[in-house]
Amino acid sequence: MKLKERKAIKEISSKDKEVVLAGWLHELRDLGKVKFLLLRDVSGIVQCVLKDKKLFKKFSELTTESVIAVKGVVKKAAVKSPEVTRKEIEIEVKELEMINKAEPLPITVTEKGIRIALPKRLDYRVIDLRKPRTMAIFKIQSQIIYAFREFFSSKGFIEIQTPCIIATASEGGTALFPVRYFEKKAFLAQSPQLYKQLAAISLEKVFCTVPVFRAEKHNTTRHLNESRQMDIEVAFADDFDVMKLLEECVKFIVKKVKERCKDELNILKISLKVPKAKYLSYEEAIKLLNKHGVDLKYGEDLTPEAEKKLCSLFPNSIVFVHSWPLSLKPFYIWPKNEKVSAGFDALYNGIEISSGGQRIHKADLLIERLKAFGLDPKNFKYYVDAFRYGAPFHSGWSIGLERLTMALLKLDNIREACMFPRDRERLIP
């Protein structure tokens, strides 16, 4: 059998007379005189029929998730199994080859009548990734990040690569992972923030997709200690300019996922609608929340309950909460006055997916704000000095890739949206 002739299951045409397929054994059914197997590859599942008794011995040696190759004739499906994605055809097998026999599985792939807890699924993620549902999540996530790149590339943005090893905190605080860096002290980056600013004040419009690392000792369904961010930074733009870009970008991503991931959305039973947008000041949001039974005072951060409530008040909308108190935003956010910042958050389907704002572009004010946060300006000298040589005002934001995936697909736990999650307890696989 020549595997170079192999076709993806999705590519089989009813006009094909004979095909070579290879993949994983999703399920086996022995009906005596006729044997059935469901063959799965990354593109779908097809039913294969064995009628030739010469193949029955090989069939008896098969185990689920074994990797096999088959050569067979394309026929009109006699019985339409609910699990197959190619319901209109089946393959009458003429040749069967075992490529790698699977040992007994620690978790099942089909999960018929069985619900395996997420921690165990993550322990055996290599098998869990074979489930059509899990596969669908990451196919969609691939399209999310592709659409993000597509959107900003089409608008003349330059993709940049920022360092993941840094000398000082990107956002202040102590939640940093230290690393050995020869004779120097270094950390894993909390954010590409400082470096994307340094790029934008020269290149004007930049974007990047980067891993970020936060050493907070939380253990929630919405936080990871390693995640991926989709970031932009734009010169000559204020906070409202980039909020509009975020609105347009998310709408574009949702539209493209709808167009390109119909099969995956069907597997997940998700009906996507392109969202609207609602803009509220922080003060308006607090008053609205208080009116609807969420007790928050001005100057307090939004709780998960508050985020869910705001999104429920404006269904299928990206809810922008802007003009936050200066005390609640990072040191680099531009102060509109002594109390209010040019910072914002974006909420979608009950969860914060992005934060951003206009940045400080004047060295003296930056030094003042660093001191206000208890940070030593000497540790940020390279950053502060960059704004002494002609820096335009600029703004930007970051979308958490896993957060957006979680919101879009209405997942209960962010770990579902991360292929190999890293949290306080999990370092393997």
Retrieve residue 44's tokens.
């779908």
Retrieve residue 155's tokens.
């608008």
Name the catalytic one among 322, 361, 403, 415: 403
Which residues contact residue 269 at a Cβ distance below 8 angstroms, ignoring those fewer than 6 apart? none
Name the catalytic one among 355, 369, 398, 402: 355
Q: Is 426 a catalytic residue?
A: no
Name the catalytic one among 95, 216, 305, 368: 216
Name the catalytic one among 6, 149, 223, 422: 223
Q: Is 223 a catalytic residue?
A: yes
Q: Give residue 249's identity as a one-letter amino acid code.
A: C
Q: Is 422 a catalytic residue?
A: no
Residues facing 18 on adjacent strands = 73
Q: Is 6 a catalytic residue?
A: no
Retrieve residue 32's tokens.
């005596």
Name the catalytic one among 222, 359, 361, 394: 222
Q: Is 352 a catalytic residue?
A: yes
Spatial distance between the Cα atoms of 176 and 164, rounded to a whole number of angstroms: 12
Q: What is the CA radius of gyration of the chain?
A: 26
Q: How many CB atoms lie within 10 A of CB 104?
A: 7
Q: Is 355 a catalytic residue?
A: yes
CB 354 within 8 A of CB 318: no
Q: Is 228 a catalytic residue?
A: no
Which residues contact residue 163 at a Cβ distance below 8 angstroms, ignoring those fewer than 6 apart? 189, 195
Name the catalytic one among 352, 398, 402, 416: 352
CA proximity to 9, closest of 86, 78, 69: 86
Parallel, antiparallel, or unpaired: how do β-strands 18-30 and 89-100 relate?
Answer: unpaired
CA proximity to 272, closest of 282, 283, 262, 284: 262
Name the catalytic one among 40, 86, 121, 214: 214
3-state DSSP assignment of residue 404? helix
C-alpha pair distances (Å), 316 with each of 213, 273, 275, 292, 400 = 30, 7, 5, 19, 19
- Active-site positions read 214, 216, 222-223, 352, 355, 403
